[in-house]
Amino acid sequence: MVTRRNYGAMFILIVLAILFLFPFVYLVGGSLKTNTEALTSPATIFPADPQWNNYRDIFDAPNFNIPVQTKNSLIMTFGVTFGQILIASVAGYAFARIRFIWRDPIFVIFLATLIVPFELLFVPLYLMLAKWGWINSYWALIVPSLANPFAIFMFRQFFITVPKELEEAMLIDGAGYLRTFWSLMLPLSAPPFLTIFILTWLAEWSGLLKPLLFTTTPDMWTLQVGLNFLNVGAQVTTPTIAYLMAGIVLASLPPIVLFLMLQRRFVEGIAQTGLKG
């Protein structure tokens, strides 16, 4: 039975959906304008004459090599994502199940690093990576982002909820901590695994500052850096705003598809991780 309260909730959800979808609709409409129309008529949503060739022309734009930069983005994104999951799951298991000296204070220190903005670390990171010869390499794009306190927190909170009887049965059979982790705890950790996978993948795919600072040549740029140089702005008579919007639409498709495929698992992962302990 549909009540008045249900109608009210549906109306609010519809309004919120329109508000959240409008920027993307405006972006798609702007990507189909001419550069002159995008510059002179920003208030109009849809173009008078759709320019579908904008999506073809950006493949020939200088400093925007879509295949190469997409490859770099995928390598960085998946490298950081799976690296974070591996490190965070092992650390989360240690903080949840293994008793060692100063375990809880160390965990609190890890959580305290969440308040430190990543931007504050760029200067020492750049100096360190330059000393190692890692600037303009995949190492510079992946290694600095592998340790994530939030991911460790998520795995720890989930492992605390796993019944201890399962772990004790493994230990009685002669399994050590490492085998217990790989054979029991990790296969059970699908909820935090998928949650961290989605959050990290989306953050790394859309990240600009790290690849902008740690890469120096177009063949190592990620897609976001290429988009940054796609709009040449005041360097020409007509800024390439429509081309920039078309590039953003293409760059937005992978995260949108990923989230639509895994959104249900994402919500379940957040709910099942809990805040115990």
Residues 49-85 have pLDDT tens digits of 888 888 888 888 777 888 999 999 999 999 999 999 9
How far apart, in whole angstroms, are the C-alpha atoms of residue 98 and residue 93? 7
* pLDDT-derived band at 276, boundaries 50, 70, 90: very low
How far apart, in whole angstroms, are the C-alpha atoms of residue 273 and residue 195? 9
* pLDDT-derived band at 270, boundaries 50, 70, 90: low
pLDDT at 163: 85
Structure tokens at 114: 């969440």
Is the pLDDT at 34 greater than 90? The verdict is no
For residues 6-32, give the mean pLDDT: 86
* pLDDT-derived band at 234, boundaries 50, 70, 90: very low
pLDDT at 277: 47
Is the pLDDT at 214 greater than 80? The verdict is yes
* pLDDT-derived band at 104, boundaries 50, 70, 90: confident
C-alpha pair distances (Å), 205 with each of 72, 77, 79, 134: 10, 6, 11, 20
* pLDDT-derived band at 10, boundaries 50, 70, 90: confident
pLDDT at 272: 58
| Average pLDDT score, the chain | 84
Is the pLDDT at 236 greater than 80? The verdict is no
Among 233, 193, 230, which residue's Cα sits nearest to residue 208?
A: 230
Residues 142-168 have pLDDT tens digits of 999 998 899 999 999 888 888 888 888
Q: How many other C-beta atoms can be found within 10 angstroms of the C-beta atom of residue 171?
A: 13
Q: How many other C-beta atoms can be found within 10 angstroms of the C-beta atom of residue 237?
A: 7
Do 210 and 144 touch, CB atoms closer than 8 A?
yes
Is the pLDDT at 24 greater than 80? The verdict is yes
Higher pLDDT, 232 or 67: 67
Domains of the chain with bracketed CATH: 65-241+254-273 (1.10.3720.10)
Angle CA(131)–CA(135)–CA(136) in degrees, nearest 5?
A: 160
Sort 74 into a burial class: Cβ within 10 Å, 0-12 / 13-18 / 19+.
Answer: middle
Higher pLDDT, 78 or 97: 78
For residues 109-135, give the mean pLDDT: 88
Residues 163-211 have pLDDT tens digits of 888 888 888 877 788 888 888 888 888 888 988 998 899 999 998 889 9
* pLDDT-derived band at 87, boundaries 50, 70, 90: very high
Among 178, 182, 186, which residue's Cα sits nearest to residue 159?
A: 186
